[in-house]
A = this chain, B = another copy of it.
Amino acid sequence: MNQTYTGGFTLPGEAGKEALTLRLAERWGADVIRDSDGTKLSDEILGSGHGIYSTLCLVREDLEWAKAHPQLMQQNFLMSAPVVADADAVTIDLLAGFSRDQFVVQDWDGVEEFWQVHDRTTGEVLPITRWALGSEGTVVVRDAVPGHTYTVNFLVMRTWEEISMYNHVTNDWGDREHLMAVEPRHPEVAEHLLAWLEQWCTENPATTVVRFTSLFYNFAWFWGSDGNLPHLYADWASYDFTVNPIALRAFREQTGRTITAEDFVNAGRYTSTHNPPSDVYRAWMEFTWEFVLDLGRKCVDVVHRHGKKAYVFYDDSWVGLEPFSGRFAEYGFDGLIKAVFNGFEARLNAAVDVPIHELRLHPYLFPVDLEGKPTFAPGGDPSTDLLRYWVTVRQALVRARIDRIGLGGYLSLVEPFEDFQDAVARIADEHRRIRALHLSSARSGDETRPVRVGVVTAWGALRTWSTSGHFHENRSLSLMHVLESLAGQDFDVSFHRLDDIASEGVPAVDVLLNAGLAGSSWSGGDAWSDPRLVTAITRFVHDGGGLVGIEEPSAVAPGAGLRRFALADVLGVDQDTGDRRVLDRRRFDISSEAHPIMDRAANAAGIGPVPGLMVLRDDVHVLAASDGAPVATATPFGKGRAVYLAAYRHDAHTARLLENALRWAAGAETPQWLSTNPAVSVAAFADADGDGTVVVLNDTLEPQHTLILSNGRAVATLDLPPAGLIELEVAELVAEPAPPGTC
């Protein structure tokens, strides 16, 4: 394999390791050198002629200034631990159970205006006459009813920034100072951040790209004080940390609506992304976008004025930034960088409207990984780690263009790992080859247009290619697994909001996909109570569209209405939540007759049962069952088709089943290109004449054998080495006679 291009690679440099830095930059074809948390770049590196990225997280950069302005830190609402009254006065210790290092009660602005005391037994909010602030961070409730449970929704200020807190606690940093996150809604804070950035740009002329990590608001993360409950709540996309009196008042003024503490607290659920958002919370999010965009754009302007580019890193403090709000391009960012473990994260990045899409790969150059296992340390095998991440992410790279890749951490750690240095050179080169194919190819016309898959959730496009956080944090979410399967497949995937379908109809797609647990934002929850939504999708399928429902698709509240799944009459299956226990279940056979969905590469072993699943009609083809209940079905409905899959878990065989299901539902069973071995990916990069290149990927670290089919006809048999990548010319392949047999 010859290295045919350079560039598109970001290397973490390290002062004191100049020779290593420049040698590896050469070897890996790096065009950019970056700093990382804990590393600096020396003048020799800064002057080496490479592009230079510098990481900044504005809200926590200037600790001295923060300490001089102790009341300007960020705030949020908390709900006190519930207390059962045993007399007619109840004293509630507001911070009981919460980390007092992270939170202090904010009792100087807006107590009467924003706090709420609930009788949680009746659901009532108590009038202000029924409670008062007590001593030492308490609230005293008067005229309580013994036996009722009371809580207080109250404001806190945060005195320790969460990422700093995590690093500090994890690494046992003792008396190292706590970083603090300032609240940019205070005009003096916003002014200070811009002035600080201006000065920083002046003082760092070598920097070509300011890499914002990210902007102003961290995802929500509540720490506890109880050894048995050290963390209370974490959600990567929650806006809990955007709250403060200035914002609450501005929201009321700008929108004419009132948002209450309970709209954020939600009886202790907070604003978890896994729950469908309320209307007022969505309005709050949009209101926050406006503010983050306004100030963020000013920051980008400062950077641009200094002749630098502005990239943004989509992880810590990304809340409010929203790459898929429809307004992201207004920031003027020059690039978006995303840390990736999985394929869906690469697709997320590639889907953002921004000039440059960059991935920060794993492993991070640290002695140990996030779970504490050795990486660049005795017992570690970083080159295998790298290749395992690479084959996972690479499946997505052949489907959507990523412009740059890179690493982060301490470069010095890789010095003893020659095989790792080789492996990085290899993947940097593979990335450049794939990128070149994207840049030179074009879809040749309608006949090869991929099947259009519309993923429908309560969030829609805002959560394009994501749920909330990483795959390893969401192993129990069917949609997370589905996204990871789709990331490596040749579909045109779009994301749609259920409420929009209710009001505007089904978008221009071939198949709709709805996947998740009942009541979740992914399945959709109350959105399915809207008959317009159900009618629109029912008609869409009846008229020839496809539907794939996964786990508890279109589920409404149990015990009401005709169906648990609002689309049960389309899917041909429904769920008994116990209220139909005495109704008999229709018997079914698992048909041994061949079905296009169940080819030899597909199987349903990765699909777990869903309780109470039942077949509604005799035209439901049960493809697989578990414990007597169907886990995979295929059903005609009018001119269309519907597929149900139970609890979906990603692996190569399940992914193939999903791929077949989507194609069958779309009435497009035969793909243009197919590997009979599901551990091998095939991606075509056609040029304008329909010729071009086919890339075949071994998605595993074991050797693989496969047959390649073109429009159902065998055109090649291949043996691929571990993690192998083979390029084939389309013109040669389709001319070649089919080999005998199948593998």
Chain B residues, Cβ within 8 Å of A149: 562, 569
> Within the assembled complex, what's the spacing in Å between the Cα atoms of A151 and B561?
12
- Complex interface: chain B residues within 8 A of A159 (CB): none
Give the residues in chain B near A275, CB-CB below 8 Å.
559, 579
Say yes or no: A583 contacts B120, CB within 8 Å. no
Give CA–CA (A563, B580) in the complex, Å: 25
Q: Are B84 and A569 in contact (CB under 8 A)?
A: yes
Tell me if A517 is interfacial: C-beta within 8 Å of chain B: yes
Question: Within the oligomer, what is the number of copies of this chain?
Answer: 2
- A273-306 vs B, CB cutoff 8 Å, 1 = contact: the mask equals 1110000000000000000000000000000000
A552's nearest neighbour on chain B, judged by CB, is B578
| Residue in chain B with minimal CB distance to A617 | B81
Set of chain B residues within 8 Å of A232, measured between Cβ atoms: 583-584
Which residues on B sit within 8 Å (CB–CB) of A22?
Answer: none
* A409 located at the interface, meaning its Cβ lies under 8 Å from any Cβ of chain B in the complex: no
Answer yes or no: A123 CB below 8 A from chain B CBs.
Answer: yes
Among listed A193-201, A354-362, A534-542, A722-730, interface-contacting one: A534-542
- Which A residues, 536 to 590, have Cβ-Cβ distances below 8 Å to chain B? 536, 538-539, 542, 557-563, 569-570, 577-584, 586-588
Q: How far is the CB of A120 from chain B (nearest CB, A)?
A: 4
> Quick check: is A531 within 8 A (CB to CB) of the other chain?
yes
Q: Mark A227-265, 1 if CB is under 8 A from B, else 0.
A: 011111111001000000000000000000000000000
CB distance from A503 to the nearest CB of B (A): 16
Contact assessment for B525 and A559 in the assembled complex, using a CB-CB cutoff below 8 Å: yes
Closest-by-CB residue of B relative to A232 is B584
Q: Does A134 make an interface contact (CB < 8 A)?
A: no
Taking CB atoms, residues of chain B closer than 8 Å to A86 are 542, 638
Contacting pair A582 B519 (CB below 8 A): no
Structural contact, B539 and A583, CB atoms closer than 8 A: no
Given A539-B146, A542-B147, the answer on whether A558 and B228 have CB atoms closer than 8 Å is no
* A583 touching B233, Cβ below 8 Å: yes
A373 within 8 A of B: no
Q: Does A268 contact B (CB under 8 A)?
A: yes
Q: Does A668 contact B (CB under 8 A)?
A: no
- Contact of A269 with B by CB under 8 A: yes
Complex alpha-carbon distance, A224 and B587, angstroms: 12
Cβ of A375 within 8 Å of any chain B Cβ, yes or no, is no
| Residues on the B chain within 8 Å of A224, using CB | 584
Interface range on chain A (Cβ under 8 Å from partner) = 35 or more
With both beta carbons as reference points, the residue of chain B lying nearest to A637 in the complex is identified as B84
- Shortest Cβ gap from A616 to chain B (Å): 8
Contact of A269 with B583 at beta-carbon distance under 8 Å, contacts A146-B539, A535-B148, A542-B147 already known = yes
B120, A228: Cβ atoms closer than 8 Å: no
The answer to the question of A518 belonging to the interface, with a C-beta cut-off of 8 Å to chain B, is yes
Supposing A559-B525, A562-B120, A582-B235 touch, asked if A535 and B145 sit within 8 A by C-beta, the answer is yes
The answer to whether B519 touches A228 (Cβ under 8 A) is no
A121 B535 Cβ-Cβ under 8 A:
yes
User: Contact at A536–B228, with CB atoms within 8 Å?
Assistant: no
0/1 per residue, A590-610, Cβ < 8 Å to B?
000000000000000000000
Q: Can you pick out 17 interface pairs between chain A and chain B where the beta carbons lie within 8 Å of each other?
A: A84-B569, A121-B531, A147-B536, A147-B539, A151-B562, A228-B588, A229-B584, A229-B586, A232-B583, A238-B582, A270-B582, A274-B582, A275-B579, A468-B582, A517-B578, A519-B578, A557-B557
Query: Which residues of A are in contact with B by a Cβ distance under 8 Å?
Result: 82, 84, 86, 118, 120-123, 145-149, 151, 224, 226, 228-235, 238, 267-270, 272-275, 468, 476, 517-520, 525, 531, 534-536, 538-539, 542, 557-563, 569-570, 577-584, 586-588, 618, 638
